[in-house]
Amino acid sequence: MRTTLYEKMFIDGFEKPSYVVVTLSLERPVPERELTAAILATLERHPRLRSTVAMRFGVPYAFVPRSPDAWLAHRGIRMIDAADIHALEEDLLGSPLDPREVLPLEVYVVAEPPALVVKVHHAMIDARSGFTVLSDFMQLLEGRVPGAWRPRRPLGRAQAWARWASHARLAPRLPGIGMTARYRPIAPLHQERVTHRERVLRGSYDLLVRRARALGATFFELLASAVLSAMHAYNARSSRPPERVGLMFARARARESELDASFRADSRAVSIPATQLTEAHHPSTMRELRRAATDPGHDDLALAALYIARKLRGGSPELREQQGLVFTLSDLTSLGRTLRRADANAALPIRDVRVLASPTSFDHAGMLVSRLGDDVRLSLVAHRGAVDADLLLDATLARLEEK
């Protein structure tokens, strides 16, 4: 399996690799034997999760699958009697995992409180395929074989190249600074501690959807608008707040081939005048978000140039004070599938779900928004000391409630 451009970027194209950590809080522990069998069957269906990365001329060019039994022998399930889940998540977000040397999946089973914590290198998974992996795993744990996915009819090679060329952009869509900061790292980038904070809005999803529709918007547009206005309010503490507020967000690409675990998402960016963000959900802000989200263009050429420049430059960033942060919003409710809280008698009795992803540079932070039933969770991930997370989260919630 050849690596895609985004997979190359996540392996060694950013200043720091990103890792996804998913925590399933359970009503009760799952028997180890059944859990192991379901994990191995899931790995059989998703070869990237059991692959190492092959390098050629210093570039990660292919995934080399190992057998599920090889994962069990070399990585396997880590059993923990008791743990502080929050501390475990932060440790996993900040600890290195090099897929050139080890398999990119770690699984931890915590007995007290009952939880299943999974860490995956971000190059091997995005939100859409991540939900597919979770769905497959849950079905296999119940003794059912997941149904086959029917891909769209693939385009011919000439058609595919023509469409790619017509949507290519020569200049990258860069968002600019989202939040001002006075953040001075205390450790090299790969050792700097990653932290997360969250807010959970119980029983709020349908209400927020109705509020968005009343504005002629989607839930994502309402959410992104709230985040942008919250960042503008956050920047008011600075003596020199930016004139425009930038935001990156992830969008899923159409699937035209197999739906195994992989990274195929794309990024979008907006840059909104700060004066416009004093009003929550300004019509112009909502229009710009919709335009960016539906833009068919892609940044593959600019991303390739960035990757080449990164490889030529090499080195690691200096420990200098960061004046601003680039912010990424990942709305998993639109990228993936919605999970429902499982019955206590289910094979995987899910009580709660948390999805986190670590930053890729000193000046990067992000918010992941997920849904379980009608509950909405906002999880903010950043390096220690980079963000006043409580201030930004509370400001976001306040603007979500504005009509």
CATH number at residue 54: 3.30.559.10
Angle at the Cα of 302 from the Cα atoms of 95 and 61, rounded to 5 degrees: 55
Number of domains in the chain: 2
pLDDT at 54: 95
In this structure, the answer to whether residues 376 and 252 fall within a common structural domain is: yes
Q: Domain for residue 111, yes or no?
A: yes
SS3 category, 394: helix
SS3 category, 383: strand
Q: Give the residue-averaged pLDDT of 158-166.
A: 70
Model confidence over 54-91: pLDDT tens digits?
A: 999 889 999 999 999 999 999 899 999 999 999 999 99
Given 141, 162, 197, the domain boundary residue is 141
Instruction: Say if residues 386 and 348 touch (Cβ distance below 8 Å).
Output: no
Residue 212: pLDDT above 70?
yes
In this structure, the answer to whether residues 99 and 180 fall within a common structural domain is: no
In this structure, the answer to whether residues 112 and 184 fall within a common structural domain is: no
The total number of residues shown for the chain amounts to 403
Predicted model pTM: 0.92
**Which residues, in sequence order, are CB contacts of 87 under 8 Å at separation 6+?**
none
pLDDT at 249: 92
Cα gap 391→401, rounded to integer Å = 16
Q: Domain for residue 157, yes or no?
A: no
Model confidence over 300-349: pLDDT tens digits?
A: 787 888 888 888 887 778 899 999 999 999 999 876 566 667 777 788 89
In this structure, the answer to whether residues 59 and 184 fall within a common structural domain is: no
Q: Is the peptide bond preceding residue 113 cis, with omega within 30 degrees of 0? A: yes
Q: Domain for residue 396, yes or no?
A: yes
Greatest alpha-carbon span in the chain: 60
- Residue 75 structural domain: 5-141
pLDDT at 148: 65
Q: Domain for residue 352, yes or no?
A: no
| Confidence band, pLDDT 50/70/90 cuts, at residue 100 | very high
In this structure, the answer to whether residues 181 and 134 fall within a common structural domain is: no
Between helices 205-214 and 219-235, what is the axis angle to 10°?
A: 90
